[in-house]
Amino acid sequence: MTDSQPTLKGLAAKVAEVTEAFTRTLEENKIPEPTFAADSPTSYSGLTGEMFLQRQQLLDHLNDMIYLVQGPSESIFNYAHNCMPDVAALNILNHFDFWSAVPLAGSATYSEIALHTSLPEEVVTRVIEHATTLRIFEKTAFEPGTPLRIRHTSRSAALAKSAGLRALVSTVLDDAGPPMTVMQEALRRFNAGKTELAQDMTQTAFALYHSGALAGKYANSWEFIENDGEGGKKGWRQRTFVQFMDYIKEIFRLEDVVENAYDWKAAGTATVVDLGGSGGHDSIVLARKFPDLSIVVQDLPQAQPVFEKNVPADLKERVTYSAHDFFNPQPVQADVYMIKLILHDWPDKESVQILRGLVPALKPGARVLFIDYVGKQDELAGSASGPPLPRSIQQFGTSTDLRMLALFSAKERPVGAWKEIFRQADERFELVRVEANPLTFMVIIEAVWRG
Ligand SMILES: C[S@@+](CC[C@H](N)C(=O)[O-])C[C@H]1O[C@@H](n2cnc3c(N)ncnc32)[C@H](O)[C@@H]1O
């Protein structure tokens, strides 16, 4: 290992070596080592300058290990996926003083915390579930038949014990955080094309954020993504989103999930509607593999230009695009309606409406092939009473869950909730197959129309 090109093994050796030296000096100086328990010291007290430096070197090695163990792309992906939910969770916990809702030497149920914070129990549960992936609060041992209890870890306890730390979180995240999320827009408006920074207090991210002129009025994130921008720029966010979904398909190998979700070969000469099919990335692959399928990709108008660019000339006959708002009645009578990664963006009422939108076009025996994320990975893995999944895996779901809460008042649903959406939409949907896989984070539901 050279310093400029560290390797995992080299870093592990360095970590072991520096940890050994650091803990030895801690012992020599009688400085107690923090743990994750609520009664842990909240910091290393009395580090000498030299020990501080050593600790920071250790941190550098550990950070490098964290990057390398994920690899370049995933380390960026995971950071981008988690950092905003992490900030949101900490800010919410602090703002509603979850810290004092749980006794330092005891535990509390979700409903007790809900009462204390005046928030719905569902929100309390979802925020704490994400927080536990950051070792902020933890669940006590599972006891069948009793409600789950939450206790402090040393990290949440540090906030419960220190008004100063709470104030820091509030000032840095609650006051300065939101303006920092619009820095790119402030720079675009006030500094792009200039050679010097505009040193003007009316041209900061703060001024922009608090000006009331920041964002147009949109009913939801899709309306914003679809319509933001003027002239040729209009729809740029949707065009970027189409690329993002294509990328998600690649990295999670969703191509295999879609291919194996249904016996496409046995379907023979069939018409498929890919509802909310974005730029057609799934449909193009399916059509290529199964030459008897004809597929209509339906999405909002701004995804169409990307679709037209993506679709290979030899598939143009069989894979077509139709701008269709899925809250309107379905115009295409098809054999299979694929609904992939759509409903997790919507609350129950809208999800039910989207499914009901299909009904006018459904012929007896038509199928809805539903593919979406499934929440509660730990429960799925059957580990409620066994070893929990790694926090980094739980965090994947809890980060998405908090983002859905922020953007749509929606949630990552467990299998039962997905089945309930179908039941509420129409009792004539017969669910002939429900498969949930904690490793792919996906649930597949095949529903046959018995109308
Ligand atoms: C999370 S993406 C899923 C895309 C694709 N099905 C996939 O699995 O990669 C959700 C899609 O729903 C589309 N969408 C949102 N609101 C819509 C509406 N009212 N009608 C039709 N499509 C909509 C978005 O444009 C976006 O392409």
Determine the residue type at 291: P
294: phi then psi, degrees, rounded to nearest 5: -115, 130
Task: State the average pLDDT over residues 54-71.
Answer: 95
In 3D space, the residue among 200, 211, 208, 199 whose CA is nearest the CA of residue 179 turns out to be 208
DSSP label at 303?
Answer: G
Does 21 score more than 80 pLDDT? yes
In the chain, what's the furthest Cα-to-Cα distance? 78
- State the alpha helices, DSSP H only, in 336-439: 348-356, 377-380, 391-408, 415-425
Dist. CA 98 → ligand 1 center (Å)? 35
Residue 427, classified by CB atoms within 10 Å of its CB into exposed (0-12), middle (13-18) or buried (19+), is: exposed
How far apart CA 227 and CA 210 sit, in angstroms, is: 23
- Structure confidence at residue 228 (pLDDT): 81
To test ligand 1's pocket by mutation, which of 273, 300, 356 has the most ligand atoms within 8 angstroms of CB?
300
| Confidence category of residue 60, pLDDT binned at 50, 70, 90 | very high
Strands of 149-151's sheet, edge to edge? 108-109, 149-151, 138-139
Arithmetic mean of pLDDT over the chain: 90
How far apart CA 8 and CA 42 sit, in angstroms, is: 30
Determine the residue type at 88: A
Give the end-to-end CA distance of the chain in Å, rounded to a whole number. 67
Which H or E element spans position 432? strand 429-437
Q: Is the CB of 326 under 6 A from ligand 1?
A: yes
Q: Is the CB of 346 under 6 A from ligand 1?
A: no
Residue bearing tokens 């509030």: 170
| Cβ 297 vs Cβ 280: under 8 Å | yes
State the fold for domain 238-374+413-449: Rossmann fold (3.40.50)
pLDDT tens column, 177-234:
888 898 888 889 988 999 988 778 788 888 888 887 677 778 788 888 888 888 888 8
Q: Where are the domains of the chain?
A: 8-70, 73-175, 180-214, 238-374+413-449
Instruction: Select the more confidently predicted residue: 250 or 356.
Output: 356
Q: Is the CB of 344 under 6 A from ligand 1?
A: no
Question: Tokens at residue 106, please?
Answer: 């005891």
Which H or E element spans position 433? strand 429-437
Atom nearest to 278 CA in ligand 1: 27
| Conformation bin of residue 299: beta by default, left when phi > 0, alpha when psi is -120 to 50 | beta
Which residue's C-alpha comes closest to atom 15 of ligand 1?
A: 222
Which residue's C-alpha comes closest to atom 3 of ligand 1?
A: 341
Does 160 score more than 90 pLDDT? yes
| Conformation bin of residue 226: beta by default, left when phi > 0, alpha when psi is -120 to 50 | alpha
Residue bearing tokens 């995804």: 303
Beta-carbon contacts of residue 122 (< 8 Å; ≥ 6 apart): 411
| Cβ 152 vs Cβ 137: under 8 Å | yes
- Residues 73-175, CATH architecture: Orthogonal Bundle (1.10)
How far apart CA 286 and CA 436 sit, in angstroms, is: 22
Q: Is the CB of 397 under 6 A from ligand 1?
A: no
- Structure confidence at residue 173 (pLDDT): 85
| Confidence category of residue 50, pLDDT binned at 50, 70, 90 | very high
- Structure confidence at residue 383 (pLDDT): 46
DSSP symbols for 264-276: TTTT-SEEEEEET
In 3D space, the residue among 403, 87, 395 whose CA is nearest the CA of residue 221 turns out to be 403
Q: Which of 3-7, 134-138, 216-220, 371-375 has the highest mean pLDDT?
A: 134-138
Does 381 score more than 80 pLDDT? no
**Coil, strand or helix at 221:** helix
**Coil, strand or helix at 138:** strand
How far apart CA 289 and CA 258 sit, in angstroms, is: 11
Residue 20, classified by CB atoms within 10 Å of its CB into exposed (0-12), middle (13-18) or buried (19+), is: exposed
| Confidence category of residue 441, pLDDT binned at 50, 70, 90 | confident
In 3D space, the residue among 185, 192, 183 whose CA is nearest the CA of residue 215 turns out to be 185
How far apart CA 264 and CA 249 sit, in angstroms, is: 19
pLDDT tens column, 297-328:
999 999 999 999 999 999 999 999 999 999 99
Strands of 336-340's sheet, edge to edge? 319-323, 293-299, 270-275, 336-340, 367-373, 442-449, 429-437
How far apart CA 301 and CA 219 sit, in angstroms, is: 17
Q: Is the CB of 327 under 6 A from ligand 1?
A: yes
Q: Is the CB of 340 under 6 A from ligand 1?
A: yes
How far apart CA 443 and CA 439 sit, in angstroms, is: 11
Does 396 score more than 90 pLDDT? no
Q: From the CA atom positions of the chain, what is the Rg in Å? A: 25
Instruction: Select the more confidently predicted residue: 122 or 232.
Output: 122
Question: Tokens at residue 199, please?
Answer: 């040193």
How far apart CA 321 and CA 428 sit, in angstroms, is: 28
Q: Is the CB of 277 under 6 A from ligand 1?
A: yes
Beta-carbon contacts of residue 417 (< 8 Å; ≥ 6 apart): 348
Q: Is the CB of 303 under 6 A from ligand 1?
A: yes
